[in-house]
């Protein structure tokens, strides 16, 4: 008989952080995090050194998941690079339409974390680089003349979809962006 041992406090903190920092922003209080995670105050400081450490780790884990999410979305779209890139925008349409979509958590974190030295910034910067590389690789396979610039443009469209999705949800921004993305893919 195995002792019904669920996820440990570290895991529960990361999950609570993921949820609460998205819904309430990174300004969420330590008390609220501890209560949601059902974890002793001390455990937070043992595992993460403090609130900033937890937030950075929450962001890091989230970026890993989201990057894998990009890869999975493209994988499901087959081999054609064009189809794989456009699939990203189709998936974005679903994400933005989810009832509790609250915008891009990384942009929100960057705007909310006033201190430019906060460890969270390095995490989001890394993430954007990785996604850029992901897009650029597909554009190269597509034979695009300026894959780096085109990847910048696709990233800009993705951020625009997230922003519009958070502030003007009824305008179906992902569909708009998809059409513009097609134009980007068509060349330069």
Q: Site residues (CB under 8 A) for its own copies? A: 24-25, 27, 102-104, 106-108, 110-112, 114, 124-125, 128, 149, 152-153, 155-164, 166-168, 171, 173, 176-177, 179-180, 183-184
Distance between CA 60 and CA 106 in Å, rounded?
10
Distance between CA 83 and CA 71 in Å, rounded?
13
Distance between CA 138 and CA 181 in Å, rounded?
13
Out of 7, 23, 46, 167, the residue judged to bind DNA by CB under 7 A? 46
Does residue 65 bind DNA (CB under 7 A)?
no
* Residue 92 φ then ψ, to 5°: -60, -40
- Which tokens hold the place of 27? 């300004």
Q: Which does 21 bind (CB under 5 to 8 A by kind): DNA, its own copies, none?
A: none
Residue among 85 and 108 whose Cβ is closer to DNA: 108
Residue among 35 and 133 whose Cβ is closer to DNA: 35
Out of 1, 31, 79, 116, the residue judged to bind DNA by CB under 7 A? 31
Rg from Cα positions in the chain: 19
């Amino acid at each position: 008989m195995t002792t019904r041992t669920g996820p440990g406090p570290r895991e529960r903190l990361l999950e609570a952080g993921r949820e609460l920092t998205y819904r309430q922003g990174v300004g969420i209080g330590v008390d609220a995090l501890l209560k949601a995670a059902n974890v002793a105050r001390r455990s937070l400081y043992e595992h993460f050194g403090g609130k900033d450490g937890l937030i950075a780790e929450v962001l890091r884990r989230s970026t890993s998941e989201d990057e894998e999410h990009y890869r999975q979305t493209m994988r499901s779209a087959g081999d054609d690079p064009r189809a794989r890139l456009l699939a990203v925008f189709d998936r974005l349409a679903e994400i933005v339409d989810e009832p509790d979509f609250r915008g891009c958590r990384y942009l929100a974190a960057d705007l909310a974390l006033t201190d430019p030295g906060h460890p969270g910034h390095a995490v989001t910067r890394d993430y954007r680089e990785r996604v850029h590389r992901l897009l650029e690789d597909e554009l190269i396979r597509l034979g695009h003349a300026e894959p780096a610039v085109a990847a910048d443009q696709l990233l800009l469209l993705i951020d625009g979809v997230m922003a519009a999705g958070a502030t003007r949800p009824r305008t179906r921004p992902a569909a708009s962006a998809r059409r513009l993305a097609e134009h980007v893919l068509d060349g330069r």
